[in-house]
A and B are shown apart, each in its own frame.
Chain A
Amino acid sequence: MKKLITFVMPMKLIAGGVLFGLIGFYMVVGILYARLTGAEFEYSIPFAFIWQGATLAIAIAILWEVFFGETIIKKWRFFKRILLFNISLIFLIAICFLTSFALPTDWAYLWLIGVGIISLGIAAMSGLNELYYKKTGERYVEILNAYKKSLLQ
C-alpha cells in the first residue's frame, strides 16, 4: 500500500502539469498557426480534447514515474532513463496520432516536429552532460584510488 501511494501521489502532480501544458500548448500553437497561415482559430477547447488529454497526461505521468520515480527502476543512470523515456514518449504520441486520440491529426506534423525537436534537444543535452560526468568520474577515481591507498583495512 505504501509503495502504491509513493508511486501514485507524484503521478497526480505530473499528470496535472502535463494536462495544463497540453492545453496551453494547444492554445499557443493554434493561435500562432492561425496567425501565420491566416486560418480561423476557435478560442475554445472541445470537451473530447480535455478527457483525451487527461488520459494522455496520465499515460505520460506513468511513464515518468516508471523511468524517474525510483520506485520501479532504482539503479539506472539519468542518461539511460531520459533516452528510454523519450523513445517511449514518441511511441505513445505516435499511437495517439494513429488513433486520433487526444492530438488532432490535421496538425500531426506540427506536433511531431515539436516533440521531435524537444526530444532531440533533451537527448543532446543529456549526452553532453554524460560526457562531462564521465570526465568528472575519472577525476573522482584518481582521488578515490589515493584514498584507498591510505586506508588500512
Chain B
Amino acid sequence: MRVEVCQGFPDTAVIIQCREVTDEVRKLEALCLGSSQTLSCTKNYKTHLIDRREVLYIESVDKQCFLYTANEMYETNLKLYELEEMLDTAGFFRCAKSQIINIAKIKSLCPDFGGRIEAEMESGEKIIISRQYAKSFKERVGIK
C-alpha cells in the first residue's frame, strides 16, 4: 500500500489496482466507500438501510422516489436528481425522465423502434431507456 501526493490532482482519489475482482478487493472497496454503500429509505413507516447494490431501479412518481429491489419497494425522501448525482459513479444511470437504472442488474438489452432500448432486469421487469438517454447509455457501456 502506498500514498502518493500529487499537487495537480483536483480531488482525493483511491485507485485499487488488481488482477481480478476478488472478495478481498470488494471488502477493500466497501471499506473505502464506508457508509455510502447503503441508502436510507422507508417502508411501512420504518427506516431501512439497504445495500445500493440490491437496488434494481429507482422511479419517481408524483415527486416521490421509490427504490425497487428484487422483492421489495422502498420510499426515499431524496429527489431523483440527488440520487442521480449520488449514484452516478456507483453504476447507476438515468434512463428516463423519471427513472434511474442499476446497470449491474440489467440481464439483457434489446433496441426498439424510435431509438429506445428495452432493458430486462434480473427480476424479469422491463425498463425502457428512452431515446433521449439511449445515446449516452450506449457511450457509457461502450456500445458503438
Chain A residues lying within 8 Å of B141, measured Cβ to Cβ, are: 140, 143-144, 147
Contacts A78-B113, A147-B103 given; does A141 touch B108 at CB 8 Å: yes
B73 at the A interface (CB under 8 A): no
Interface residues on A, range: 20 to 34
Interface centre among A129, A136, A140, A146 (most CB of B within 10 A): A140
A147 lies within 8 A of B142 (CB): yes
For the complex of A and B, the 6 pairs showing the least CB-CB separation, nearest first, are: A78-B113, A137-B110, A140-B109, A147-B141, A151-B91, A153-B53
Q: Is the CB of A140 within 8 A of B111?
A: yes
B128 near A141: Cβ-Cβ < 8 Å? no
**Chain A residue at minimal CB-CB distance from B29:** A152
Given contacts A77-B112, A77-B118, A129-B113, contact A148 B104 (CB under 8 A): yes
In the bound complex, what is the Cα–Cα distance between A23 and B125 (angstroms)?
44
| Contact across chains for A151 and B29 when beta carbons are under 8 A apart | no
Residue numbers in B under 8 Å from A152 (CB-CB): 16, 21, 25-26, 29
- Chain B contacts for A151, CB-based, 8 A: 91, 103-104
Bound Cα distance A152, B108 (Å): 19
A133 within 8 A of B: yes
Contact of B103 (CB < 8 Å), options: A74, A78, A137, A148: A148
Determine the distance from Cα of A14 to Cα of B76 in the docked complex, in whole angstroms: 40
Q: Mark B18-54, 1 if CB is under 8 A from A, else 0.
A: 0001000110010000000000000000000000110
B36 CB, min distance to chain A CBs, angstroms: 12
- With beta carbons under 8 angstroms apart, the residue of B90, B106, B113 that contacts A153 is B90
B117 within 8 A of A: yes
